[in-house]
Amino acid sequence: MGSKLQDFLESQVYPSQIWQSVIRHGKPVNDRNRSLAVLGNVFLHLHPIRLPRYATKYTYTWGMGGLSFLLFLVETVTGILLMFYYHPTASLAYGDIKSLEFDVPFGMILRNMHRWGAHAMVLAVWFHMFRVFMTGSYKKPREFNWAIGVILLTITLFMSFTGYLLPWDQLAMWAITVGTNMARAVPLLGHEGPFSNLLGLKIDNDIRFALLGGTRVGGPTLIRFYVLHCIAVPFVMSFILSIHFWRIRKDGGISGPQSARLANLNKVTQVKAAEGKKKVEGIKVEAPKAE
């Protein structure tokens, strides 16, 4: 039976135009086809085809970057599903959350996954940063990607913060009230901040007012935070995320001890870079010898 199906697949399906147009490599049973698979798949293409063995060890990477991305995807999927059941209106939002628990099939687990996933994502991002620091991976040539990473971290926190308001309960309202009260004190831009009188700022025209859509947390805040949480910030985040991923590959893939990184780079480029450096800084740098 199995072999019959296999025969059918191999004689009829795999060679067909449809199959060939989608899957461009052979069965991933040997290194060549697997490499082609990684190369030809837009998602797997985030990885190089080959990488040093230490980079596949959990104790080296802790998988925190990958987990952050996984949780980002979980948040996206559960978030989209939650949007089907939610009105960002002060009079309806709370009841919608209650209905998620009591009425909607899988509503509670959906909401739990979204909330706990968000908390876990904050942790994952923090510990991703911690690991990158502890292995010194921010060093040349990855300085810029580190900066992108720091920005992604603040965006993650902002994502979580804007989402915190949406259940529209006391916990949400007062967490956001406390959080946004800090915006009162922005120098120049907040009405209680130093020098704000120079711009003539009052409680109803400062930066906090712009964020809340009012002088205190209310219906307009809910719709603002909803739009920020569901559209604006995820858009910015995906954009910066793609830069982050792109730069990992462009900066020589996974970090590692000097020799490993150098081996990854094209030797000609390496020599040129070394010469260039020599000229500019007058420091003697040994170009690696070809193996």
Partner 1 sequence: MRFRAFVISSMLLFVMTVLAVWVDFDREWKKYQSDFNKIEFDKTKSELENLKKSMDADADYKKLEASYKSSEDQVNSPEALVKQKDLDQKMAKLKFDVYKAERDAKFTKSTIGSLDYQISRNISNNDATASINDQKMILQAKLDEQNKAVDVVRASFDKAQKEAKDDIKQYTDLKSKFEDKNAKVELLNKKLDVIAKRPIDIQQIIIPELNNTVDRCMTCHMAANTDGFEDKKYPKVFQTHPNRELFLVKHNVKDFGCVVCHQGQGLSTKSKSAHGWVEFWEKPMFKGKQVEASCIKCHKTTDNIPADYFNKGKELVTASNCLACHKIEGQPAAVKNGPPLLQASSKLNATWMVNWVENPRHYLPRSKMPTFPLGKEEATAITAYVLSSSDPNYGIKKGVVPDPSLVGNGQRVFKAKGCNSCHAIKGVGANVGPDLGRVGSKANPTWMYNWIKNPQSYHPGTIMPNLGLTDEETLSVVSWLQTFKWDNMPQSQVDIHNVELATKGKAIMKNYNCASCHNVVGLEGAQNCPELTGEAEKDIHKFDFGYAHRDPLRGVYHTRESYIYNKIRSPGVYDDFVKGKMPRFWFTDEQTSQAYTYIMGMTGKYDDLPYKYIYKPKTVEESNEEIKKK
Partner 2 sequence: MYSFKNFLDILTTPDNVPILLLIAMIVAYTWISFHKAFDNDKRLAQGRPVWEGEPHNQEKVHTWPHLLNIEFIVSIIAMAGLTLWSTFLNAPLEDPANNSVTPNPSKAPWYFLGLQEMLVYFDPWIAGVVLPGIIVVGLIAIPYIDTNPKGNGYYSWRDRRFAIGVFLFGWFLWMALIIEGTILRGPGWNFFMPGEYWDVHKQVALVNINFSELLNIDPKTFWLARELPAIIILGLYFTITPFLVAKFNKKFYEDLGLVRYGVTIMLLLLLVGLPVKMILRLTINLKYILVTPWFNI
Residues that bind partner 1 (CB under 8 A): 91-92, 95, 98-99, 101-103, 105-106, 108-109, 169
**Is residue 277 within the footprint of partner 2 (CB under 8 A)?**
no
Candidates 5-13, 180-188, 225-233, 269-277: pick the segment binding partner 2 (CB under 8 A).
Answer: 180-188
Phi, psi of 89 (to 5 degrees): -125, 140
Report the residue number, 192 or 203, with the smaller CB distance to partner 2.
192
**Least distance (Å) from partner 1 to the CB of residue 222?**
16
Report the residue number, 5 or 123, with the smaller CB distance to partner 2.
123
**Least distance (Å) from partner 2 to the CB of residue 255?**
4
Residues 102-141 that bind partner 2 (CB under 8 A): 108-109, 111-117, 119-120, 122-123, 127, 129-131, 133-140
Amino acid (one-letter) located at 60: Y
Residue in the structure block whose two tokens are 């070394």: 274
CA–CA separation, 181 and 155 (whole Å): 19
Of 209, 231, 115, 122, nearest to 164 by C-alpha is 115
Residues 4-23 that bind partner 2 (CB under 8 A): none
User: How many other β-carbons are positioned within 10 Å of the β-carbon of residue 273?
Assistant: 15
Amino acid (one-letter) located at 218: G
Report the residue number, 169 or 192, with the smaller CB distance to partner 1.
169
**Is residue 86 within the footprint of partner 2 (CB under 8 A)?**
no
Q: Which does 245 bind (CB under 5 to 8 A by kind): partner 2, partner 1, none?
A: none
Report the residue number, 70 or 153, with the smaller CB distance to partner 1.
70
CA 50 from chain centre, in angstroms, equals 24
Instruction: Report in angstroms the alpha-carbon separations of 46 from 39, 61, 136, 141, 161.
Output: 9, 16, 22, 18, 29
Buried b (16+ CB within 10 A) or exposed e, 97-119: beebeeebeebeebbebbbebbe
